[in-house]
Amino acid sequence: VTTAGADTRRRTGLIALLAVIGPGIITASAGNDAGGISTYSVAGADFGYEMLWLIPIMTLALVVVQEMAVRMGAVTGKGFAALIRERFGIRPSFFAMLALVISNAATSVSEFAGIASAMEILGVSRYLAVPIAALAVWMLVVRGSYRRVEKILLGLSAVFIAYVISALLVGPDWAEVARATVLPTFEITSGFVVLSIAMVGTTIAPWMQFFVQSNVVDKGLTVRDLSLQRVDVISGTIAAGLIAWCIVLTTGTVLHGSGAGIATAADAAGALAPVAGRYATQLFAIGLLGASLLAACVLPLTASYAVCEAFGFERGIDRSWAEAPVFNGIYTFVIVFGAAFILIPGLNLISIMVFSQVIGGILLPFLLVFMMVIVNDRRIMGRHVNRRANNVIAWGTIVAVTALTLALVGMTVLGVS
């Protein structure tokens, strides 16, 4: 009798976990999108192992930030945008939404850059691939069928697990890697600072916090589910962090020594050569395509939902243009902007992907400050306000990113390169 009882209990525990799990893992995986892959690759290729130490720290920061978003969603049952509006009023939420839409439009550009790169590896011109991809994404979004496609795309982007194998196969100097992961090293060059901001911007992307929180709200999760949600957030974030670490590690080993750098996506694919041999570029292209398409579907919707939630406009993918003009207008704008930008002739897609993450990184502190004020407000969060450790890490992130941005501005003004 006791064994049977224990068995049922364990099973319900597992089922309960499966029911709650999802938002964190999906968000973290979608975070390793085109911009993420290229930023990590460039970091490894340009600076070798020098940036490895950033990854554990950023992973910790992402866990903290995502946990706050999940907690806010579970306690209040409201989205992040709604909370910003209710706590701060119209004007601040206008700027918060402006920041979100700008960073989403920029990231969307990088997703279409990822699609264009992947298709060019497969031999298709970007002027053909990007418009078709934009139309496909737009139709997936309006028909609401992207949730069905989501799993396929997630599966495709799981190709990047190949980096983990690749990292084991390239045979790096593990002692050196361990040292680089633990001991911080700096370079006072604008290249290093820009890439650091891009790394933060892509790891802790602004839209991810809105996305994970609205997922929690839509699933109707409550405070009782909090401990399971933490498991979800932590496991998803650590998995994403591990992949990021492996990308920097492999590109750092394979590409850094050669002095070639990364000019096109095909160069970045070289890091997968230890696993896939001469099929490395194709493998890379397929993974890049899946990850980019997934994020290209999620980004415009996140922006639309957040803006409409904050200002009380009619929203939902089952609403027509006449019913919800703002909602439909914003996601169409984000898709069209992202696709149209890539069609400007002569763009270097890799730099576009990295640069768009810099925009995300610069805008991140603004949104995090809103989050910190809300999550420490006892009237909103009750006894679920932040612990001190959370506050220290989150404020630390805000201060660090702001300092990096100021440093970048300073360097640009002073002409340090």
Q: Is 108 exposed, middle or buried (0-12, 13-18, 19+ CB in 10 A)?
A: buried
Round to the nearest angstrom and report the end-to-end CA distance of the chain.
72
- Residue whose pair of structure tokens reads 């992907």 in the numeric block: 353
- Measure the CA–CA gap between 138 and 339, rounded to whole angstroms: 11
Q: How far is CA 20 from CA 80, 203, 231, 232, in A?
A: 19, 23, 10, 8
DSSP state of 159: G
Nearer to another protein, 122 or 406 (CB): 122
- The secondary structure of residue 346, as a DSSP letter, is T
Asked whether position 377 contacts another protein by CB under 8 A, the answer is: no
* Range in contact with another protein (rule: CB under 8 A) among 71-79, 186-194, 269-277, 336-344: 71-79
CB of 85 to another protein, least distance (A): 5
Q: Is 143 in the site for another protein (CB under 8 A)?
A: yes
Q: Could you count the other beta carbons within 10 Å of the beta carbon of residue 194?
A: 19
On whether the CB atoms of residues 275 and 76 are closer than 8 A, the answer is no
As measured in angstroms, the least distance from the Cβ of 300 to another protein is 17
217 binds another protein (CB under 8 A): yes
Buried b (16+ CB within 10 A) or exposed e, 230-249: bebbbebbbbbbbbbbbbbb
Only one residue has tokens 């996305």, namely: 211
Pair of tokens at residue 228: 């399971």
Closer by beta carbon to another protein, 222 or else 412: 222
Here's the x/- map for another protein, 99-138, by CB under 8 A: it reads as: -----------------------xxxx--xx--x--x---
Contacting residue, 323, 382, 409, 412, with another protein by CB under 8 A: 323
The nearer residue to another protein, 132 or 182, going by C-beta atoms, is 132
Burial of 60 (0-12, 13-18, 19+ CB in 10 A): middle
For the segment 276-315, give every residue that binds another protein (CB under 8 A): 310-312
Closest CB to another protein among residues 187, 218: 218
Stretch that binds another protein, among 39-47, 78-86, 227-235, 351-359 (CB under 8 A): 78-86
Q: Where are the beta strands (DSSP E) in 176-285?
A: none
Token couple for 332: 């169409």
Please state, in angstroms and rounded to a whole number, the distance separating the CA atoms of residues 371 and 146. 29
CB of 267 to another protein, least distance (A): 19
Q: Is 259 helix (H, G, I), strand (E, B) or coil?
A: coil
Best CA proximity match to 204, nearest among 51, 47, 376, 357: 357
Of 93 and 250, nearer to another protein (C-beta) is 93
Strand blocks (E) in 254-378: none
Residue nearer to another protein on the CB measure, 379 or 383: 379
Q: Please, which residue, 14 or 416, has the CB nearer to another protein? A: 14
The residue within the footprint of another protein, chosen from 17, 57, 60, 77 (CB under 8 A), is: 77
* In the block, residue with structure tokens 């554990």: 56
Q: Are 337 and 104 in contact (CB under 8 A)?
A: no
Of residues 60 and 142, the one with the C-beta less far from another protein: 142
Residue 333 touches another protein, criterion: CB under 8 A:
no
Q: Specify the stretch interacting with another protein by CB under 8 A; choose among 52-60, 104-112, 316-324, 386-394.
A: 316-324
Q: How far is the CB of 77 from another protein (least distance, A)?
A: 2
Residues 36 and 203 sit within 8 Å (Cβ to Cβ): yes
3-state DSSP assignment of residue 415: coil
Span interacting with another protein, options 73-81, 109-117, 183-191, 251-259, rule CB under 8 A = 73-81
Residue 323 beta carbon to another protein: minimum distance, rounded to whole angstroms: 6
346 binds another protein (CB under 8 A): no
Compare residues 51 and 335 and give the one whose CB is closer to another protein: 335
Hey, which residues between 81 and 100 contact another protein (CB under 8 A)? 82, 85-86, 89-91, 93-94
Beta carbon nearer to another protein, 222 or 258? 222
Separation CA 252–CA 353 (nearest Å): 19
Q: Is the CB of 14 or the CB of 403 nearer to another protein? A: 14
In this chain, which of 218, 231, 263, 392 binds another protein, going by CB under 8 A? 218
Report if residue 222 touches another protein, rule: CB under 8 A.
yes
Binding site for another protein (CB under 8 A): 76-78, 82, 85-86, 89-91, 93-94, 122-125, 128-129, 132, 135, 139, 143, 217-220, 222, 310-312, 318, 320-323
